[in-house]
């Protein structure tokens, strides 16, 4: 069973400047709710019991958001507003399941994952990238269901326009399993159009084996001098680990870009 999830939150959010110059992007409200809460709700609904946040000193505001008890208690006492009370109780529920670890240097997603090594208990864990919101269908839940059938690793996949391939991790497809799932033969981080083996992109939901830590501790920095989780996964695939690409059926919202962030509020308000 997949019971633990990790969420890298140490990114600088430069694509959303100036909104992120003092404020972590994951706390920016999307239709009246911080983006990170959508990700947490996806985890809870998928049966996750513990979530590890990888933050940095610069992003301690995220931790404060879940630990501002004194302020809440005072307001609840003064105002007796049932809405605020309910929200506070929700935040306490989230807090009970969150652990914080630090990644103070932005050395890449792979490096962020490595920071969680001593907390991961089971053979597999879930990773969610908070910029990638998927609405209408719980992608993590669908992926856990697939994993439970065969104990293989699973990653979310979406068709993207060919001219945008260099923005994503791109899959080379192996054997098709069914309408929505296929075996991954290769995965390449941000290839040029010429080198891209397909237009199937990695979207930020991954079920990864614990064995990845061994690879991550040895791997050399790749594109942009960062340690990429994609490169570690590629290495696992080449060591005969089975990875399934899952074409999810929900709607993808790229909250890490300004256009996507604005659109996400509009889309969610229509739900």
CB of 1 to ligand G1P, least distance (A): 26
Per DSSP (E only), the strands in the chain are 4-8, 29-30, 33-34, 50-55, 98-102, 124-128, 132-135, 153-159, 169-176, 181-189, 200-209, 243-247, 251-254
- Per the CB < 8 A criterion, the answer to whether 146 and 248 are in contact is no
Total residues in contact with ligand G1P, by rule CB under 6 A: 13
Pairing of strands 200-209, 124-128: antiparallel
Mask: binding to ligand G1P, 77-116, rule CB under 6 A, as x and -? --------------------------------x-------
CB of 121 to ligand G1P, least distance (A): 25
Beta-bridge partners for 203: 156
Q: Which of residues 25-64 bind ligand G1P (CB under 6 A)?
A: none
CB of 162 to ligand G1P, least distance (A): 15
**Which residue's CB is nearer to ligand G1P, number 209 or number 245?**
245
Alpha-carbon dihedral sign for residues 148, 197, 6, 205: negative
**Which residue's CB is nearer to ligand G1P, number 38 or number 168?**
168
Under the criterion CB under 6 A, does residue 260 sit at the interface with ligand G1P? no
Instruction: Please state, in angstroms and rounded to a whole number, the distance separating the CA atoms of residues 129 and 225.
Output: 20
Instruction: Please state, in angstroms and rounded to a whole number, the distance separating the CA atoms of residues 171 and 245.
Output: 8
Under the criterion CB under 6 A, does residue 231 sit at the interface with ligand G1P? no
Which residue's C-beta sits nearest to ligand G1P? 169
**Which residue's CB is nearer to ligand G1P, number 90 or number 137?**
137
**Which residue's CB is nearer to ligand G1P, number 74 or number 136?**
136
Instruction: Please state, in angstroms and rounded to a whole number, the distance separating the CA atoms of residues 266 and 27.
Output: 17
Under the criterion CB under 6 A, does residue 230 sit at the interface with ligand G1P? yes
Q: Which of residues 201-220 bind ligand G1P (CB under 6 A)?
A: 201-204
Under the criterion CB under 6 A, does residue 140 sit at the interface with ligand G1P? no
CB of 91 to ligand G1P, least distance (A): 27
Task: Tell me if residue 79 falls in helix, strand or coil.
Answer: helix
**Which residue's CB is nearer to ligand G1P, number 94 or number 207?**
207
**Which residue's CB is nearer to ligand G1P, number 129 or number 236?**
129
Instruction: Please state, in angstroms and rounded to a whole number, the distance separating the CA atoms of residues 7 and 229.
Output: 13
CB of 147 to ligand G1P, least distance (A): 19
What does the DSSP 8-state code read for residue 53?
Answer: E
Structure tokens at 51: 């979530």
Please state the φ and ψ torsions of residue 186, each to the nearest 5 degrees.
-155, 155
Residues that bind ligand G1P (CB under 6 A): 109, 129, 131-132, 168-169, 189, 201-204, 228, 230
């Amino acid at each position: 069973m997949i019971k633990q999830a990790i969420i890298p939150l140490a990114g600088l959010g430069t694509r959303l400047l100036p909104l992120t110059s003092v404020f972590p992007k994951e706390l920016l409200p999307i239709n009246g709710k911080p983006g990170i809460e959508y990700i947490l709700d996806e985890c809870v609904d998928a049966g996750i019991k513990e979530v590890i946040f990888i933050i940095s000193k610069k992003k301690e505001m995220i931790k404060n958001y879940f630990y501002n008890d004194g302020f809440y208690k005072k307001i609840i006492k003064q105002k007796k507003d049932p809405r605020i009370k309910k929200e506070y109780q929700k935040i306490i529920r989230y807090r009970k399941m969150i652990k914080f670890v630090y990644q103070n240097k932005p050395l890449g997603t792979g490096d962020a994952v490595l920071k969680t090594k001593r907390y991961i208990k089971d053979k597999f864990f879930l990773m969610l990238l908070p910029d990638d919101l998927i609405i209408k269908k719980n992608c993590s839940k669908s992926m856990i269901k697939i994993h439970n059938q065969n104990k293989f690793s699973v990653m979310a996949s979406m068709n993207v326009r060919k001219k945008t391939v260099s923005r994503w991790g791109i899959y080379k497809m192996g054997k098709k399993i069914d309408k929505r799932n296929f075996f991954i033969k290769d995965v390449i981080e941000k290839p040029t159009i010429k080198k891209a083996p397909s237009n199937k992109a990695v979207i930020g939901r991954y079920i990864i084996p614990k064995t990845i830590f061994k690879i991550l501790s040895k791997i050399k920095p790749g594109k942009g001098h960062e340690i990429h989780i994609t490169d570690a996964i590629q290495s696992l695939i080449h060591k005969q680990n089975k990875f399934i690409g899952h074409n999810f059926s929900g709607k993808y919202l790229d909250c890490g870009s300004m256009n996507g962030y604005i659109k996400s509020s509009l889309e969610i308000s229509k739900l």
